[in-house]
Chain A
Amino acid sequence: MRKVPKWFSSISVIALVGVMLAGCGGNNANNAETTNNKPANTATNETTNTNTTNDTTNDAATTPDPNAPVDGGTLTIGTFSDIVSVNPIYINDTSSGDIENLINAKLYDLDRQGNLIVEPWSIAAELPQISADGKTYTVKIKSTAKWNDGQPLTADDVIFTYNTVRNPDAGAPGISTVDKVEAINKIDETTIEFKLKQVYAPFQYSLYSSVVPSHILKDVPVKDLKTNAYGVDPAKTVTSGPWKFSEWKQGQYITLEQNPNYWGEKKPHIGKIIYKIYADQNTEVQALIKGDIQMSEAIPVTQIEGVKANDKLQVILEPGPLYEYVQFNFKDENFPDKYSPFKGQKTRQAIAYALNRQGMVDNVLKGTGKLMNSPFLPGSWADPGDQAVNYQYDAEKAKALLAEDGWKPGKDGILEKDGHRFSFELQYNAGNSRREQVAAVIQQNLKDVGIEVTPKGIDFATWIDQNITPGKFPAILLSWSLSNPDPDAESIFSSKYFPPTGQNGGWYKNEAIDALWTKGQLTIDQAERAKVYQEIGKEISIDLPYVFLYQYGLPQVVDASKVKWAEEDAPESSLGYGYLYHAINWWVTE
C-alpha cells in the first residue's frame, strides 16, 4: 500500500508548534566560502575521501581543490508527497515545510542541540532581549534583509506575520504558539517588541519562524489569506531566503532557483533545487541508484540494505525528532465493559516491562531508532537522561507486578480482576507497516503475561475524527513529532487539556505533574528550566500515561559522489527538517 505521508503518520501538537518554526539553523558562523584555509580532508564522508586520495599531489596550485565548494549545479531531491502551499503561515505538512525552509529566511535559527541562535542567514541581528519580568521580548533585525522583489524586510513584515497568525480568522495552525502574546509594538524600522500576557518560557521558540511580506499581503482580507495565490503561485510568492519558488508542476515536481536579490553575506552554492515527487518509494530508491535524484529525505527501512550495497550512496541512520508510544485510556466508558484496566500504576509499569522495546528497534526499525523513556528528545537540552526510568524487557517482573495489582489468571489464561478480563483493542492507522508490525509484537509480548490485545488498523482521517480528537479509544499506538525544540508538552499530558479542546485524549490526570508543566513554562532561565523537565521525566516515567517506546526516523540517503558539505554543515537528523541543515553551504558536483 501507499506509504502515508510523514505528517499522516505523526500528527502532533508539538509539531504544530513547530509548523512555521521548522528549518535549517546552524552552529557555526565562520565556515565555508574561503576555501584556502580549510584542510583538504574536511570533506564529509568515506566516499569523498576515497575519491580524492589520488588528488593529494603537490601541484595543488594547478589542480583545483576537489573539496572546494563549486557554485551552480542542480540538486534533485526525491520526496513522496506533493506540497500544499509554501505560505509559512499555513504550513502543516512536511513537503511544504521542506520548500518553505529553503525559500525563506527565519527570524532565528537553531543549533544542533536546539538552542535559538543567530546565523548569518537569520533575519535577526542578535538574540532577543528578555525583560527582567520575563514578559517583554525585544527583537532586533538586520537592516540589510530584503525580499526577492528588492523591497526591504522591516519590522512591519514581522509584526504583520505575527498578527496574522494570532488572528483566528486567518486559520493559521500556529495560532496556539502565540496565544500568550498581548501586543506587538514597532519600536523602529528594525526593532520589534513582543509583550506577553504572562511569563511563558516556550515563547522563545515562537521566534524560530519565517516572515511573510506585508507589502504583498496586507491588503488581502484576513479570511481570504488561506485561498490567496501567495504560497501556491510561484510568481506571486515573494520570499526572503537563498532560493526562490520558481515552478510547481502539480503532482510532479517543484523547482527552486537562486534568489538574485538574496541579501545574506553568505550566498548559496547550489544553483537550482528540484523536488521530484515519487508515488512509489521503491521507484524512488531505484532513481537514487540510477542517479536521477541525488538525495531522498526518507526511504523505507526495508530498503536500507539494498541502498548500502551501492558505493556512491550514503545512508544516514540517526533517528529524527519523533517518538512512538502506546497511550492508555483512563476513562471507563471507552471500554466495552465500562472498565479501564489501565488505572493501576503497577499495571502500567507491568506493561512497560512486558514490552520488548529493544527487540522492536532491532527487528522492526532495523536499528534506526533509540529507546525513549520520557517525552523529551534524547540529546536535547531538556533530556532527563538517567533520571527517567528505563523499563528493561522482563516478563517475570511484569507478571509479578500484575499479580500485586490484583490481576489473576482466568479460565482461558487471560488475567481477570473484579470480573473484568484484561483484553483491549490497540488502534493504529491502517497502512502504516511499522505500526502494524509493532502492534503485532505488542500483542505477542502482552499475551505472554496474560493480556489479550486486539490490534486494529483504522483509516487515518476516520481515526482522528472518531477516536483521537474526542479521546474515544481503549489504547493507541501513535507518535509525536518534536520538531519544535521546546520541551513543553502540557497540552498533551495535563488535565487542563482534556478533549475536545485539548489533546490529552487518554484523560490522564496527575496533579503533581500538571503543576510541573506550569512551572516549566514560568521558568525563563534555561538551566533552571532543564531541572524542571528532569523532574517531569522522572515522574512521568514512573506514572506512565504512555509507554514511551522509541525515538525513530526514516533513513536519509545522499549521493555522496555528487552532494558535498563540510563537516560542520552535515545534516542534523534530530532537528525538524534537519536533513537540509545548512543546505546554504552545500554544493553539488557533476
Chain B
Amino acid sequence: MTEYLIRRILQSVLVLFLISILTFLMIHAAPGGPTQIFLAPGLSPEAAQIQAHNLGLDRPVPVQYAVWLGNLMQGDLGHTFKNHIPVGDILWPTVKNTMVLMGAAWLFSLLIAVPWGIYNSTSEYGLSDQTASFVSYIGFAMPTFWFGIILQEYFSLKLDWLPLSDMYTMGKEGNLGDLFMHLILPVSVLTLGFLAAYSKYSRASMLEVLSQDYIRTARAKGLKERRVIFRHALRNALIPIITILGLDLPILVSGAALTERVFNWPGMGRLFVDMAVAREYSVLMSITLVVSVIVVLGNLIADILYAIVDPRVQLGSKGGSST
C-alpha cells in the first residue's frame, strides 16, 4: 500500500510537471500578450519595450518558464502584470469561496441523490422513480444560468425572501447565517444539475447489483429486504458512484463559471475568465496548477476508496486476487 502510494505520488508529480509545461506553452502561444492589454495603446515602442523588459516579458519562453518554476518551488506564485499584486492574494480567497459554494452544492445533492436513487431502484417505475426521471431531464436540459435568473426573479425580487447575489451582505462578511441565506439560490441551481446525474447513477448501479445471483441467494435464504439492500447490495453499488465522485472532485475548485457569474459569487470560475481576457499569465498558470492537483488527487482518492469499499481490489499487487 505505502509503496503503491509513493509510486502514484511520484507519477502525479511528473504529470503535473508536464501539464505545467504544456499550459505555459499554450498560454504563451496565444497571440496578443499582456503588453497589448495593459500597456496603453499609443505608448511609444521604446517605452513599451522598457516596460516589457521590466516585467521580464522580453525573455525567451523557456527562460520565463524556468523562472516561474523556480519561484513556484519557493512557494511564490508570482505577481499580476498589470498591478503587481501577489497571485496568492487573488487566488486563495476565490478557491475558498468556490469550495464553499461547490462543496455545499455537492454535499447537498449527494445527500438527496444517493438515497433517492437507491429508493427508486427498489420501486422501479414508481411515482418517485418517474419524478426523479423528470427532474433529471430538467436538470440536464435547462441552462443553469437561466434557471438561476428565474429563481432570482421570484425569490429575491418578487418575494424578497432571499438575497439576489454575492456571498455576503456588505458589512456582514464572515456571518454564517448571512452566508447560508446567500447559498440557498446558487446551491439550488447547482444541485439540480448534480441531482440528475447522481440519482441516475445510484439507481442504475443499485439495479445492477440487485440482479446479481448472490442477492437472489440472500433473498432465498429468507433475509429481510432491508437487510438485503443495506447489508449486501449497497456496498457493492457504491463502488461506481465513488469513482464518479472522485473524478468529479475538480469541480469543487474549478467552479461553475456561469452560476458564479449569475450570482456574482467571487469564485474561481469568474476569476479564470477575467484573467484569460487580461492575459495574466501567472494567475492562469496558478489556476491550472490548482485544478490539476485536484484532478490528480481526486483520482488517487477514488483509487484508495475503491480498495476500502471493494475487497477484491488490492492496491500495489499485480492483478487483483478474487476470493
Give the distance in Å from the alpha carbon of A191 to the alpha carbon of B39 in the complex: 33
Interface residue count for A (Cβ, 8 Å)?
57
- Contacting pair B44 A19 (CB below 8 A): no
Q: Interface 1/0s, chain A 1-27, versus B by CB < 8 A?
A: 010100010011100100100000000
Whole-angstrom distance between the Cβ of B27 and the nearest chain A Cβ: 12
Within 8 Å of chain B (Cβ to Cβ): is A308? no
User: Which residues of chain B have C-beta atoms less than 8 A from A460's C-beta?
Assistant: 32, 277
With A250-B89, A286-B164, A287-B164 known as contacts, the answer to whether A280 contacts B262 (CB < 8 A) is yes
With A252-B266, A279-B270, A461-B32 known as contacts, the answer to whether A286 contacts B157 (CB < 8 A) is yes
Within 8 Å of chain B (Cβ to Cβ): is A193? no
User: Which residues of chain A have C-beta atoms less than 8 A from B157's C-beta?
Assistant: 286, 289-290
Whole-angstrom distance between the Cβ of A190 and the nearest chain B Cβ: 31
User: Which residues of chain A have C-beta atoms less than 8 A from B166's C-beta?
Assistant: 252
Q: Which of A76, A289, A466 contacts B31 (CB 8 A)?
A: A466
Interchain residue pairs A-B with the least CB separation, the first 9? A461-B32, A173-B40, A227-B84, A465-B32, A462-B32, A462-B31, A171-B51, A279-B261, A13-B42
User: Which residues of chain B have C-beta atoms less than 8 A from A283's C-beta?
Assistant: 152, 164-165, 261-264
- Contacting pair A464 B36 (CB below 8 A): yes
Known: A168-B50, A468-B41. 5 other contacts (CB 8 A): A223-B54, A282-B149, A283-B264, A292-B164, A465-B31
- Say what secondary structure dominates the interface of chain A: mixed
Within 8 Å of chain A (Cβ to Cβ): is B33? yes
Q: Interface 1/0s, chain A 426-455, versus B by CB < 8 A?
A: 000000000000000000000000000000
Within 8 Å of chain A (Cβ to Cβ): is B220? no
Write the chain B residue with the least CB distance to A227.
Answer: B84
- Contacting pair A226 B54 (CB below 8 A): yes
- Contacting pair B32 A459 (CB below 8 A): yes
Give the distance in Å from the alpha carbon of A276 to the alpha carbon of B264 in the complex: 10
- Contacting pair B170 A274 (CB below 8 A): yes
B window 32-67: CB within 8 A of A: 32-33, 36-47, 50-51, 54
Q: Which of A92, A168, A280, A459 contacts B261 (CB 8 A)?
A: A280
User: Which residues of chain B have C-beta atoms less than 8 A from A552's C-beta?
Assistant: none
- Contacting pair A501 B37 (CB below 8 A): no
> Chain B: residues with CB nearer than 8 A to chain A?
30-33, 36-47, 50-51, 54, 79, 82-85, 89-90, 93-94, 149, 152-153, 156-157, 160, 164-166, 170, 260-264, 266, 270-271, 273-274, 277, 279
Within 8 Å of chain B (Cβ to Cβ): is A176? yes
User: Which residues of chain B have C-beta atoms less than 8 A from A13's C-beta?
Assistant: 41-42
- Contacting pair A286 B41 (CB below 8 A): no
A window 66-89: CB within 8 A of B: 76, 81-82, 84-85
- Contacting pair A232 B164 (CB below 8 A): no
Q: Which of B45, B47, B156 contacts A500 (CB 8 A)?
A: B45
Within 8 Å of chain B (Cβ to Cβ): is A463? yes
- Contacting pair A464 B32 (CB below 8 A): yes
User: Which residues of chain A have C-beta atoms less than 8 A from B54's C-beta?
Assistant: 171, 223, 226
Write the chain A residue with the least CB distance to B85.
Answer: A232
Within 8 Å of chain B (Cβ to Cβ): is A491? yes
- Contacting pair A173 B164 (CB below 8 A): no
Whole-angstrom distance between the Cβ of B273 and the nearest chain A Cβ: 6
Q: Interface 1/0s, chain A 220-240, versus B by CB < 8 A?
A: 000100111001100000000
Q: List 21 A-B contacts (CB under 8 A).
A: A2-B277, A4-B277, A81-B274, A82-B274, A85-B83, A168-B50, A171-B51, A171-B54, A173-B40, A175-B43, A232-B84, A250-B93, A251-B90, A283-B165, A287-B165, A290-B157, A459-B32, A461-B36, A465-B33, A469-B41, A503-B42
User: Which residues of chain B have C-beta atoms less than 8 A from A8's C-beta?
Assistant: 277
User: Which residues of chain A have C-beta atoms less than 8 A from B82's C-beta?
Assistant: 84-85
Whole-angstrom distance between the Cβ of B44 and the nearest chain A Cβ: 7
Give the distance in Å from the alpha carbon of A252 to the alpha carbon of B90 in the complex: 11
Whole-angstrom distance between the Cβ of B282 and the nearest chain A Cβ: 13
